[in-house]
Chain A
Amino acid sequence: MIEFDKVTKRYKGGHEAVTDLTFSMAKGEMAFLTGHSGAGKSTLLKLLANIDRPTSGQVRVAGQLLNRMSSHQIPFYRRQLGIVFQNHHLLMDKTVFDNVALPLVIEGERPRDIARRVHAALDKVGLLDKEHERPMVLSGGEQQRVGIARAVVTKPRLLLADEPTGNLDPLLSREIMNLFADFNRVGTTVLIASHDLGLIARMPFRVMTLKGGQMIRTDRTVPYDR
């Protein structure tokens, strides 16, 4: 599903965020991406979402080479992804329903189908009773779950999450991670950037550790050199 081949990303000013990075993820796999802040986690996710382009090397997702994608193709590529952001990126003046419906509206689904699929997604994250609320009145955990519902409502093949439990208490974090595991169980490829090592350790998935823009370990143990 994901293939990085000798990928280097150098930002203007010369800072090299990832260096000569090579790794891959199989279809249907779930993995964690960890490392100190500044290790290149965000850059890796940005490369996958085609927000940034590699300076050298190749990034492939589901067989598509992201490097050469035209700006016209990028929106259509992004529709194949579900992305969960650390700061939710919700529209505060729209209802929960409208927030979750947005990707479907963009795809031009019929209102009947939109309602059905939004309800299914909200049901999955346990927020069906909040569909008419605005995100403002929801708790941090609830907002994050709205963000997850929006990411999965299109049934994406690849689900990316950037610190999805960043500001949540351990119990809520655990719930959110289990939610991702549920999506993985039905075939979605899931990649989660997180530094919640305690939590990651208790889950049976591959852990990839970045340091200084390089993959230093990729295994199932918790690799944290304090």
Chain B
Amino acid sequence: MTAKNKKGAEVRQVRFSERRDAWLRHHQTLAVDSLVEMLRRPISSMLTWMVIAIALSLPALMYLFLLNVQHVVGPIESGAQLTLYLDGAKVGQSGQKLAEDLQQRPEIAATEFVSAAQGLQQFREYSGLDDVIDSLGENPLPDVIVVKPVDTTAGSVESLKIMLEGLPEVSDVQLDLIWVQRINHISALAETLVGFLSVLFSMAVLLVVGNTIRLAIESRRAEILVVKLVGGTNAFVRRPFLYMGFWFGLAGGLVAWGLIALCFYLLSEPAAELLASVGSSGELVQLGFGGVFLLLVTAILISLLGTVIAVGRHIRAIEPS
């Protein structure tokens, strides 16, 4: 190729890198300018942050509540146990022996033999119905063996139950899992509900940010017209508003974090008491680093999406006439 062509290519390259630098510089300036712009109107900006923060912290708190319930219920579930009611006529005095035999099996972690007499004694202590029990004359309770399985997943507990029911000495096996299952069902239901509400609240954030940006665009209509008249592209006009949306999202997310932290601070004492009373040694499940990150990213993304929608709709409509 000729030297002339080569030079032409070089000129183009320089211009491209200059354009890119200009573009980056413009973005830098805008990022700072739009932040300053937002902070210059603290009251109205704060209202928007609060709406975003409340709309985000509500589903986040509900989700955390759910996590904590599962956290408390979890250990109880893992202590799932089977209660074997023994047939007195067949077992005779060998209940204790049967409990020890079962203990040897690999799928059983522990067994505890509770004789009919012990059972009656425990019932007497718990219920306080001494008179009624005395009037019975004969002990109506069977001997009982409490079995704790090694593997507590529903399937293996179920098969262990079938095996134990096959034993001749056992008249009935009760699986103490029903209420745990109920809690699981309720928490699955709650999870769906929280998911649905999260979508609703996210849409609220979308609309609030969209409306705020629409008003900002409206208030700068004259400026947008001038920019378009002197050759500004739609992208150029859009940019400051997109940064505004970003800052609103970030600020809203930070306030939401603050609200959640406040809520945890207020709840920490009663929650500790509650946890202690149900015998859970654990602490409350907190938002954590990952949670905060997710909260902020979500806030920014939703806010940006609301901005993109508002900006796309309104900026193209402003044309000189």
Contacts and interface: CB of A to CB of B under 8 A. Distances in A.
Interface of A: 49, 51-52, 72, 75-79, 81, 83, 85, 89-91, 102-103, 105-111, 150
B171 to A, nearest CB: 84
Contact of A106 (B19, B225, B227, B320): B227
Given A75-B233, A108-B19, A108-B26, A89 B225 contact: yes
A85 B18 CA distance: 31
12 contacts: A49-B229, A51-B321, A75-B233, A75-B234, A83-B229, A85-B229, A90-B226, A91-B226, A106-B231, A108-B18, A110-B18, A110-B25
B130 interface: no
A175 B23 CA distance: 38
B25 A103 contact: no
Q: Interface range on chain B: under 10, 10 to 19, 20 to 34, or 35 or more?
A: 20 to 34
A89 B229 contact: yes
Contact of A75 (B22, B26, B225, B231): B231
Contacts of B23: 108
A43 B312 CA distance: 29
Given A105-B26, A108-B26, A111-B25, A91 B229 contact: no
B232 interface: yes
Given A89-B225, A91-B223, A106-B236, A150 B230 contact: yes
A79 B19 contact: no
A106 to B, nearest CB: 5
A89 B25 CA distance: 26
A108 B229 contact: no
B228 interface: yes
A63 B239 CA distance: 32
A34 B80 CA distance: 96
A75 B225 CA distance: 12
A24 to B, nearest CB: 24
B321 A83 contact: no
Interface string B222-259: 11011111111110100000000000000000000000
Given A89-B226, A91-B223, A109 B22 contact: yes
Contacts of A90: 226
A90 B230 CA distance: 11
B230 A103 contact: yes
A90 to B, nearest CB: 8
Given A52-B321, A83-B229, 11 more contacts: A75-B231, A76-B231, A77-B231, A78-B228, A83-B230, A106-B232, A106-B236, A107-B22, A108-B23, A108-B26, A111-B25
Nearest to A82: B230
